[in-house]
């Protein structure tokens, strides 16, 4: 489980990416972060590491789609990245 400092740091990075500078949306964004981590662990690999650059990047994009209420378009728009991610984790196993 992530420690609080890592979780807070990830929240701040995502907020910066989303251009959200108020704390009003922190709970919602944290929920999106956690659901995205679960999504990637179920879809790609239980070894998914949200602290690695590529993984963090696609995680931020998925949160952006959730935040903008467009999550149903994420897989279509990011099919290439998702396939690359799957290949990356297949190579590790």
pLDDT, tens only, 35-81: 999 999 999 988 999 999 999 999 999 999 999 999 999 999 999 99
Q: Which of 51, 33, 38, 47 is nearest to 86 (CA)?
A: 47
Backbone angle region of 23, left / alpha / beta, with phi > 0 → left and psi within -120 to 50 → alpha: alpha
Give the helix/strand (H/E) hosting 10: helix 4-18
* CA distances to 42, 50, 88 from 46, in Å: 6, 11, 13
The answer on pLDDT for 1 being more than 50 is no
């Amino acid at each position: 489980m992530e420690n609080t400092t890592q979780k807070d740091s990830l929240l701040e990075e995502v907020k910066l990416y989303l251009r959200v500078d108020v704390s009003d949306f922190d709970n919602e964004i944290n929920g999106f972060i956690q659901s995205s981590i679960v999504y990637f662990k179920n879809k790609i690999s239980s070894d998914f590491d949200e602290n690695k650059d590529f993984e963090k990047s696609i995680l931020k994009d998925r949160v952006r789609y959730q935040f903008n209420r467009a999550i149903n378009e994420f897989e279509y728009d990011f099919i290439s990245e998702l396939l690359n991610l799957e290949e990356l984790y297949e190579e590790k196993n």
